[in-house]
Structure 1
């Protein structure tokens, strides 16, 4: 893979492993194992699989054929074995060479991901600096980064450990980057600190995971005091501060836990004032301004008031509104969604532009969401009836939870029609027959809302018939009960 794509990051398709199970079209949420490992290490406790640990140690002690060891590990969850396995190996005092040879074989020749992960763990427990390149190569696959990072820290000489992790962190962009960068916390290496502020906090999961570490380890505020900071630092600072704002109450600490937040926010506003206007910078400014409406309680009122005035003054510059409007002028532009978000936050009238966007791309869910706030309900319903393939959307029912963009758009529009009785009946009918549970549920909620103090829409018996037909084939128990309750309420009117 490295011969095709270089040291990394590799393109997403290059991350596919040969043991990836076929994706089932069963409506269940697909959670790749790399995501499961990331979520479990960050948000859940898990119980070590001690029985399997002991079984694996016995196989190693008996010098069982590597194929047998591989097949047993393929059935396990490496995350539930790794730490306890290393401790058990130390207690049993197995030959270091014996453990190493098994680990190298699993890591180099394994064909199942969980077995390869444990191979990396065994190399980490028994190898040395000569394993660096193997661990970096395997770690470039996001599936194995967590295990490779830990193995690098265990096998490399003290002065080389951080540099090895730093190299691996730059090769990955998803959960792998999160795992690697977290091991760089507290670094005093100027190159590492500079990279964290400009690029290292960015990842394909959520920048919120790494923004607090980047701000503190990278000494964000001190870096911003440079009389002439480069554009990459300014944009990185905006991304970190925006992520800290969004992260308040999220997966890690937010802006309230960053001790130098107030002066850093003030300095960022000063820097952006005289820099080129870009959508990215506008997006960051607007994100911070939104948070200043609900500042952390321990911030001094005078500081909050000063920040509010400062950001209001910066955003009052006409160039920002001009930039946002230019961004939504091209309905097929790559930055349309960001420009739409910025224009909406600035209160700019962009209904024609959003309609043009949807005519160019009816799958743009964010544009549909914007339209629900901009258009009259009749206009919204008429455009949805025109642009959404309603016959194709009446494709269920089923147990599917995750859906395609057209289905998500239908769900958004139907929800927006709850307070507008009789508007968008064709949409309601299609939603009742859609394969996704949330879409069908949205249709039932809309009809129930219409039933309240209002009369049902024109041709009420048609709508009743639609609900009866949907109820007869509804596979979701709770939704079937909701449909039955709706029919009873209508009968009692």
Structure 2
């Protein structure tokens, strides 16, 4: 199989997904692949309108974990008929390209099992779709069909396609169905190491309950981490990986200590989140106590400081079933650990250089330790006025006059008067302007130049914040009414025009 040679039989010049994965594998190895590799061959052009973009791989992840989905039984019957009647593969591909694989896969396999189709007939259709497909939903169903009818010889194909996050869910299930009993888990384990986001979540979830020492060790050190939310996999890692038992090692390695902090902090963040949180972890109390001991004696890093602060915050509202004595002991222990001077020194060192790549994490940690770092934050904004997180932190430290003066100095107000438009999410400068003008509603009389620029910005939310800031003024300046009238004359959003009317006394 050479890159670029697998085409649809129509003579179409579209790149197949298999050719894409072969190319990425040749360039970047088995995976994980760089982000640009996930720009799929059939991806439609995106409009730069500031609206949130939801890739189909994210939609699959959200639907499988949160919303569920109903099978499309009509489509199942139609596709099964095409397979049974041996319709041309091109026609089958075209039909599947319009379908949603999630709504077909399980019911289609069941439907085909009850029909008079040979295993080979299903397999050949699946391999053709997987190898020649140029549309993601058709390739997904191809992988499903291979999983229903293939064998251990399909491992390489499934791993290759599964390294694309878009297909990992389907490839992981297919590997479990096609590989010999002793190799199924190892194949999924290999796939899990090749992906980092939703694909990592789908693959690792299929390792739950593993008793393979290598798998368990990997889950505790790396396997729970993913580019979506570590909270999805932390409960599985803690239980399948036997976290507490591993922490009892007299000399645990640094990767295990870091992994334990990541898992425990994800568990405390996960209360009420996408999966079970710390309250459902039966060994939470002793594991938290042991982690505090290890962190106290180990190397001081910003990552560990972040974990300690996250856990300490949660201890203010612990699970109800924890014993009060245990809670008090944990609170004292974490307070003692964080009182070590080295943590404050570490955070302050991290915010000393405003250009440092680690500035954001150091800033977060310094905030958690209540360190006075306003001068460092101002220095950061002078380097990067688009840093919205730093602007948010400055809001809580600077007096309103200082905040407004800084924003008027650093933000390119003339360039921000770039609308009106219908963007929902702007660039960094626009997000910073929105943050500050929102705060101006609490401080009427300040920031008129900021409000004027916001009224003329392309972002709907920015303009709305400007109107609301002006409405908070007891006696708005005369020029503000003229600005709002001018903005009203060109405002594309009806609801915002109504708010402007109300401000002008016309509504």
In the superposition, the TM-score normalised over structure 1's length comes to 0.96
Q: 2:480 — aligned with what? A: 463
Q: 2:420 — aligned with what? A: 397
Q: In the aligned structure 1, how far is the partner of 2:34 from the partner of 2:222?
A: 18
Instruction: Determine if the alignment matches structure 1 residue 472 to structure 2 residue 489.
Output: yes
Q: In the aligned structure 1, how far is the partner of 2:504 from the partner of 2:236?
A: 55
Residue 26 of structure 1 and its aligned partner are, at CA, apart by 3.2
- Pairwise mapping of residues 23-102 of structure 1 onto structure 2 (< 5 A)? 23-102=46-125
Q: In the aligned structure 2, how far is the partner of 1:17 from the partner of 1:228?
A: 45
Q: 2:304 — aligned with what? A: 281
Q: In the aligned structure 2, how far is the partner of 1:109 from the partner of 1:15?
A: 18
Residue 481 of structure 1 and its aligned partner are, at CA, apart by 2.1
Q: In the aligned structure 1, how far is the partner of 2:202 from the partner of 2:120?
A: 28
Instruction: Determine if the alignment matches structure 1 residue 138 to structure 2 residue 155.
Output: no
Deviations 1:193-212 (A, max 9, x none): 11000000000111111111
Runs of 4+ aligned residues of structure 1 deviating over 6 Å after TM superposition are: none
Deviations 1:356-392 (A, max 9, x none): 1111111211111111111111111111112212222
Q: In the aligned structure 2, how far is the partner of 1:243 from the partner of 1:222?
A: 19
**2:96, 2:138 within 8 Å by CA — same for their partners in 1?**
yes
Instruction: Determine if the alignment matches structure 1 residue 19 to structure 2 residue 36.
Output: no
Determine helix, strand or coil for the equivalent of 2:361: helix
Deviates more, 1:426-435 or 1:284-293: 426-435
Q: 2:257 — aligned with what? A: 234
> Which of 261, 271, 278 is residue 255 of structure 1 equivalent to?
278
- Pairwise mapping of residues 330-349 of structure 1 onto structure 2 (< 5 A)? 330-349=353-372
Q: 2:33 — aligned with what? A: 10
> Which of 470, 495, 498 is residue 447 of structure 1 equivalent to?
470
Q: 2:4 — aligned with what? A: none
**2:105, 2:141 within 8 Å by CA — same for their partners in 1?**
yes
**2:49, 2:424 within 8 Å by CA — same for their partners in 1?**
no
Q: In the aligned structure 1, how far is the partner of 2:344 from the partner of 2:51?
A: 43
Instruction: Determine if the alignment matches structure 1 residue 428 to structure 2 residue 448.
Output: no
How many residues are matched?
484
**2:84, 2:116 within 8 Å by CA — same for their partners in 1?**
no
Residue 295 of structure 1 and its aligned partner are, at CA, apart by 1.1
Q: In the aligned structure 1, how far is the partner of 2:416 from the partner of 2:282?
A: 51
Q: 2:504 — aligned with what? A: 487
Instruction: Determine if the alignment matches structure 1 residue 406 to structure 2 residue 429.
Output: yes
> Which of 148, 151, 155 is residue 178 of structure 2 equivalent to?
155
Q: In the aligned structure 2, how far is the partner of 1:247 from the partner of 1:397?
A: 40
Deviations 1:295-325 (A, max 9, x none): 1111111111111110110011111000000
Deviations 1:77-117 (A, max 9, x none): 11111111111111213111111101101101111111111
Q: 1:271 — aligned with what? A: 294
Deviations 1:178-207 (A, max 9, x none): 000011111111111110000000001111
> Which of 177, 189, 199 is residue 166 of structure 1 equivalent to?
189
In the superposition, the TM-score normalised over structure 2's length comes to 0.93
- Pairwise mapping of residues 100-119 of structure 1 onto structure 2 (< 5 A)? 100-119=123-142
Q: In the aligned structure 1, how far is the partner of 2:502 from the partner of 2:207?
A: 56
Q: 1:369 — aligned with what? A: 392
Q: 1:187 — aligned with what? A: 210
5+ residue gaps, structure 2, are 1-23
Deviates more, 1:248-257 or 1:329-338: 248-257
Determine helix, strand or coil for the equivalent of 1:57: helix
Residue 171 of structure 1 and its aligned partner are, at CA, apart by 0.3
5+ residue gaps, structure 1, are none
